[in-house]
Structure 1
Amino acid sequence: MSVHHAARAAGRVVAIGAIALTTTLALPTPASAHAEVQADTPRPRAENVTLTFVSEAESDSAGFTALRVVLPDGIAPDDVTLADAPKDWKLEATDDGYTVAGPALKTGVDAEHKILIRRLPDAEQLVFKTLETYSDGRIARWIELPGGDVEPEQPAPVLELSAASPAATPPDPGSSTSSTAARATGAPPRGKAAAAEKDGPFTGPVVGSVAVVLLVLVAGMWWRVKRRGSSGTG
């Protein structure tokens, strides 16, 4: 094999390795829509707390028309006031919680609403079972309770509460509300959490393995090119 042909072969190896690495990065990872809740003051017995609920759209043909939330023990329907919701959506109290509903959202648009709670109960966590209704009549039930050996497929939104530390310092005024709530609840900000779910837990090791194999192949081809070049010169 001439030096020229060996160099071309090495180039092909590099190209193939690059394609393999790109394909690995582009592989889809399992992801599912879910419902979640956050609070601006996630502490037991906190007063006038704003809760933010986000239901991720999972239908390819219909939009949200209603969300029904079952309140946990210690929060009465009369203690809830609607703070924000999609345009023309209204809140209606039920026996065990409330429903917020209105004109159908566009397909693929997440449903987000906020409520004001008069006072949170004295608890470590609060579970808000949520039923999502789409314009085609489909109902997604995010009502499974956490705990046990098996991770629930459709877990209910859970708000973790923790007492404020005596040495706690006020948050940086320049930080965003979502980042502040994430630090208080011990969860990553929504954007980072979505990115982590998208990347998946195995992307890093797989990419590292492909990179190592690519480097070994390129080094081997370069050594062969250099050796043949030296032999030809001799």
Structure 2
Amino acid sequence: MSASNITNIFRTFPTSRFSRNALRVTVATGVAASAVLLVSGTAAAHVSVQPQGQATKGGYATVNFRVPNERDDASTVKLEISLPSEHPLTSALPQPVPGWKVSVAKAKLDKPLESHGKKITEVVSKITWTAESAKVAPGQFQQFPVALGRLPEDVDQLVFKALQTYDNKEIVRWIEAPEEGKEPELPAPVLALSEPVEDDHATQPGAGATATADAKNAGQEKETASASDDSSDSTARVLGGIGILVGAVGVAFGVLAGRRRAS
């Protein structure tokens, strides 16, 4: 709203002080509300990338490139995603999206990478989805999934540059990297990387003590069983010796009794 338009509005209203103050408040409120709607609409309409779950440093992740339509009179018919060349990824596998044709471009590496014992000399540099029987119409959005890996370990985020093409030949370039203290007009999709989480079993409090106690109990049970076996063997030996002694006494008694009868 220009200054001349505001002046004309003031002139059409009564000249009382109350009317002019009320008009000023109304106009200011309307301009502020329009600015808020304009800023929020622009911020919410850009191409973004979000992981399915978490994207951890040094790991693998499946991400969704979310493409909203920010036009009222055109539809999105093409999306180009450029992968970061300063942090090449050994793997980038796009998931098929119904109604869209996907193509993958690769680039040679100056310095080969190693993955699972193999040397990687080229990586995916760009993924392009082109509409065939589908499109992103006004008031809609579309997600384009990609499996990425291996993610770098020495950075906190990855910046992807995106080109969004409409059926009226307009191309919106979402390529501006984020800067501290400054909001880009056409921000590039940014994937935040989180720190890796250690194994829950290895870090669970008391897990080692529990395993040690179990081993100790098992050893005690084994010693108890061995002592029980030794005690059983000793008892059997004593009873056997008593039996032999009783038998010998009986034999001697019989011999003596036979001699007395003979005399």
Name the TM tier (shorter chain).
Answer: 0.5 to 0.7
Please state if 1:121 is matched with 2:152: yes
Contact residue 68 and residue 136 of structure 2 kept, 8 A: no
Q: Which residue of 2 aligns with 1:42?
A: 55
- Indicate whether 1:110 and 2:119 are aligned: no
Separation of aligned partners in 1, 2:174 and 2:194: 24
Counterparts of 2:198 and 2:91 in 1: how far apart (Å)?
Answer: 29
State the distance in 1 between where 2:71 and 2:94 align.
26
CA distance in 2, matches of 1:67, 1:93: 14
Q: Does 1:130 align with 2:143?
A: no
Amino acid at match of 1:119: R
Q: What is the aligned counterpart of 1:155 among 177, 182, 187? A: 187
Following superposition, which runs of at least 4 residues in structure 1 exceed 3 angstroms of deviation? 164-169
Work out which of the residue numbers 39, 63, 70 in structure 2 matches 1:51: 63
Structure 2 counterpart of 1:139:
171
C-alpha distance in structure 2 between counterparts of 1:75 and 1:44, whole Å = 14
Q: 1:63 to 1:74 in 2, by over 3 A?
A: same
User: Is 2:79 aligned against 1:67?
Assistant: yes
The separation in 1 between residues aligned to 2:79 and 2:46, in whole angstroms, is: 13
Alpha-carbon separation, structure 2, partners of 1:106 and 1:120: 30
Listed as ranges, the gaps of 5+ residues in structure 2 are 1-25, 108-124, 202-263
Assess, with a 3 A threshold, how the Cα gap between structure 1 residues 64 and 94 changes in structure 2: closer, same or farther: farther
**Structure 1 or 2: more strand by fraction:** 2
* Counterparts of 1:121 and 1:84, CA distance in 2: 25
CA RMSD of aligned residues (A): 2.8
Kindly name which structure, 1 or 2, has the bigger radius of gyration based on alpha carbons. Answer: 2
- Residue by residue over 1:55-96, the C-alpha shift from the partner in whole angstroms, topping out at 9 and shown as x without a partner, is 1111122211111111013334x7211124242332332543
Once the two structures are TM-superposed, the CA of residue 157 in structure 1 deviates from its matched residue by 0.7
Cα gap change, 1:58 to 1:68, in 2 (>3 Å): same
Give runs of aligned pairs for residues 1-234 of structure 1, distance below 5 A. Answer: 29-30=37-38, 31-32=41-42, 33-40=45-52, 41-47=54-60, 49-72=61-84, 73-76=86-89, 79-95=91-107, 96-103=125-132, 105-108=135-138, 109-122=140-153, 123-166=155-198
SS at match of 2:152: coil
Distance 1:67 1:94, change over 3 A: farther
Letter of the 1:158 counterpart = V
1:89 aligns to what SS in structure 2?
strand
Identity %: 31
Q: How far 1:116 sits from its partner (Å)? A: 1.0
Identify, as 1 or 2, the structure richer in helix: 2
The whole-number CA distance in structure 2 between the counterparts of 1:151 and 1:63 is 26
Q: Deviations over 1:98-130 (max 9, x none)?
A: 212222515213231001113212221000111
